[in-house]
Amino acid sequence: MENVTPDSKILIEIVKSQMPFGKYKGTLLCDLPVYYLEWLHNKGFPPGKLGMQLGTVYEIKINGLNAILTHVKQSLK
């Protein structure tokens, strides 16, 4: 099995960046609810950096790894 290390820069951006549009405009990406991320996933994430960030949050949350985001968020306080 490959040893994978998360990119801390991406995780920091996820806990600092806000959703720029839609129902959850202004909400931190890391705080978006799973059902909304699932809806976006089914609809198609936007292209570019935001899509990559949303996809990362989606994968973290559906795999039960929310503790990663919580840890990064707390370490920035």
Q: What's the pLDDT tens digit per position in 7-41? A: 789 999 999 999 999 999 999 999 999 999 999 99
What tens digit of pLDDT does each residue of 37-57 get?
999 999 999 999 999 999 999
For residue 57, which of 6, 3, 1 has the smallest C-alpha distance? 6
Give, rounded to a whole angstrom, the gap between the first and last alpha carbons of the chain. 34
The residue ranges of every structural domain in the chain are 22-75
Asked if 57 and 30 touch (Cβ cutoff 8 Å), the reply is yes
State residue 6's pLDDT score.
67
